[in-house]
Structure 1
């Protein structure tokens, strides 16, 4: 449903963003399962070593999952906003102001994507790996860079939709 209460068919872009969010959810479920297994293995009951590198996997997967959820949150207008000063403005002005802030968010996320990309390139060039599993560090950083780019694109899409509905 859009802001006016009318039903809209989700676009291909919307469905792609939903799929990315579902991947993030599946990643967190897998991560939670791995943590349960690791803790159970370390318990007095089993007395074995936990899952090797579990803390590394938690760090990387949590970052990736968080970036998976951000585009969907933006698309559904789920981010926190303060509208104290704009409540009495006409709906069209509120949408224009929201669109302006969506553009600001898009630009900030583009900056974050760029810097994550630079970080991924540096990690690749140095051959940096994780301590226990020896996984290449650039992979999760690069994935987060791409997802931050998707957040930026989603914010631009969101802004354009707001501008179209306020016209």
Structure 2
């Protein structure tokens, strides 16, 4: 069962990270098109910058960042200080990993809940971006997709850290050592 959960969490984290990468590529392309459009403004041939590019970039960056969080958590790539790890007993280090993962799952859950409440607030007031008039709740909703994935992956990583503390070793072949 663990290996199925591992594959599911990895697939979710990978899919969200790839989606975040696609969003970043899209933002880059839109920005390039907008910059090229600015060059044509003096020629007065009807081409110009993309209206609301700043709004689209802001929403896209937020969505991409939230989409990358599950992959960073799954790969244990968040910033950490390992000054005393070499001197620490292995079980103590594994216990600290468990605490870190549980704390991250808690922070992810609270952050996701607050993001959801913020989205509901923006939806109820009908707030839009200044230039492009994009409903602000849509940016929150885009970020919420990655945030929910972050919660799911963080809970799995807590379970994985608990297994390591209990003495289970994960091998690529799926053999318990």
| TM-score > 0.5 by shorter chain | yes
For these two proteins, the number of residue pairs brought into alignment is 160
Structure 2: tracts of 5 or more residues without a match: 167-177
Match of 1:117 in 2: 116
* TM-score (normalizing by structure 2): 0.82
**Kept after mapping to 1: 8 A contact 2:17/2:71:** yes
Match of 1:29 in 2: 25
**Kept after mapping to 1: 8 A contact 2:17/2:67:** yes
User: Any idea what SS the aligned residue of 1:114 has?
Assistant: helix
Quote the Cα distance in structure 1 between the aligned partners of 2:59 and 2:41: 29
Distance 1:46 1:90, change over 3 A: farther
**Kept after mapping to 2: 8 A contact 1:56/1:130:** yes
Structure 1: tracts of 5 or more residues without a match: 1-7
User: Any idea what SS the aligned residue of 2:86 has?
Assistant: coil
Match of 2:143 in 1: 144
**Kept after mapping to 2: 8 A contact 1:121/1:138:** yes
* TM-score (normalizing by structure 1): 0.87
Q: Whose Rg is larger?
A: 2
**Kept after mapping to 1: 8 A contact 2:33/2:49:** yes
Alignment of 1:1-167 (within 5 A): 11-43=7-39, 47=43, 48-167=47-166
